[in-house]
Amino acid sequence: MSAPDVLRWGVAACALGAATALVVQAYGTRSFGLRPPQAAPSASAWRGLAYAFGAGMSPTAKESTRSHPFVYALGVSYHLGIFTALATLLWVVIAGPARVAPVAVVRAIIVMLTAAGTVGGVALLARRARTPLLRTISVPDDYVANALTTAFIALAALHLLVARLESAFLVVAMLLLAYAPLGKIRHCLFFFISRGHLGRHYGRRGTFPLRH
């Protein structure tokens, strides 16, 4: 087995381990239980759920994003870069060394999205380090998670331009997957769980959807 094959199997093992650890953690949160609602529902929980993952995600629905549209744009580019890098990693691991190189248009889109994501990650990290209030409330996990994720996005683009960087891309992917269940990257799962709970709860009470 060649070194790249070992790295691809390593990524698969780390992905399986991260998924297992996250599912165990999510299941563990159920041990606290949910207090059953006492009042009769005044509206639809499903409407609240649809709002939480729909219009409630728009910049106009959140005061913080309305006040900081540039930071919101950086966050969007950062997360688009993450999703693109993950799709690229999946392609590299599954297709293996016999994979066909993407056509020029697809390759250009991947590089553009991951480059924008890298810029977003670096800008958000610099903002955290340079803003006194953010620096005060930050913990090492904030910096480690951002640095690992940004390096992962950057290498997803660079390895398409410089083939010998594929090993570095796979190694950083393994580090990221191994770290994911340990810190704030866990929000990749808990965001959806908490957002779903929020939507159902306030939908049932008739608070969601909000009127803007």
Question: Taking 90 as the threshold, does the pLDDT of residue 41 lie above it?
Answer: no
pTM over 0.85? The answer is: yes
**Half-sphere CA count of 161, side-chain side, radius 13 A:** 12
Each residue of 74-97: pLDDT tens digit? 999 999 999 999 999 999 999 877
Confidence of residue 1 (pLDDT cuts 50, 70, 90): low
Give the 3-state secondary structure of residue 7: helix
Q: How confident is the model at residue 166 (pLDDT cuts 50, 70, 90)?
A: very high
Q: In 3D, which of 164, 186, 153, 166 has the Cα closest to residue 84?
A: 153
User: 3-state DSSP call for residue 56?
Assistant: helix
In one-letter notation, the amino acid at residue 198 is: L
Look at residue 203 and tell me whether its pLDDT is greater than 80.
yes
**Within a 13 Å sphere around the CA of 58, how many CA atoms are in the beta-carbon half?**
10
Cα dihedral across residues 150, 153, 158, 163: positive or negative = positive
Please tell me the number of Cα atoms within 13 Å of 113 on its side-chain side. Answer: 17
Residue 102, pLDDT > 90, answer: no
